[in-house]
Amino acid sequence: MAAGGKANVVMMPIISKIYCSSSEEILVVRRRPQVVRGGGFVVTSCSQGVVFSVDGCGIVGKSGELVLRDRSGDAVLLIRQKGGMVQALSIHKQWNGYAYDYEGLQKMVFCVRQPLPFLSRNSPIRISIDPRSGCGRDWHFEIKGCFPERNCTIIDSQANIIAQIGVKEEVEKVMTSKDVYHVVVKAGIDQAFVIGVIAVLDYIFNESTRC
């Protein structure tokens, strides 16, 4: 136990440990102005400093492709929807997340599996962080709740909440849309990973990142 009776926080870097915080963080997601469809969104801290931004397909210029950038505008993560004949015959849609290393090379760090609509009631959206599994049956995280209503959580395989998506009551009273919402990321969790998953959810549900 650490001083004051608090347990040491276990860091869980998936993209990088620099995106893990020793304390719980509240991030604010704002949809970019609808200048171009598929423009994406911006993520800020509670002090309104930009933490991340996500370029949708309207900026990237390719359907099914998203880019997560850090506060400096550097690409952190490339997210790409899987295609091909095998995917066309699958009962799931799949998105792969690729982190950039110090040489600018891409390394697959997670994949998201979305069941097709006729399976969606019984099959949740799940995430794997083991590239060796090929995003098969093994999974590490799952989406619970309803993202379009901004009322959902990301849980791990032990049902622990790692991030929670919602709308503050005072914001909900003055805004009819869900263009501004908050994300509570638990201590030790990779915030870039969480926002990457949210970018995929945004695209799946035909929101700011989709053309």
Report the alpha-carbon distance of residue 103 to residue 118 in Å, rounded. Answer: 42
The answer to whether residue 150 is domain-embedded is: yes
How many domains is the chain partitioned into structurally? 1
The answer to whether residue 32 is domain-embedded is: yes
What CATH number is attached to the domain comprising 194? 2.40.160.200
The answer to whether residue 134 is domain-embedded is: yes
The answer to whether residue 11 is domain-embedded is: no
The answer to whether residue 136 is domain-embedded is: yes
The answer to whether residue 8 is domain-embedded is: no
Which of residues 162 and 118 earns the better pLDDT score? 162
Q: Is the pLDDT of residue 194 over 50?
A: yes
Across the range 138-143, mean pLDDT stands at 92
Residue 55 is part of which domain span?
A: 19-204
Across the range 95-119, mean pLDDT stands at 84
Q: Is the pLDDT of residue 88 over 70?
A: no
Q: Is the pLDDT of residue 82 over 90?
A: no
Long-range contacts of 62-71 (CB under 8 A, 24+ apart): 63/211, 64/203, 66/40, 66/199, 66/200, 66/203, 66/209, 68/192, 68/195, 68/196, 68/199, 70/192
The answer to whether residue 145 is domain-embedded is: yes
The answer to whether residue 117 is domain-embedded is: yes
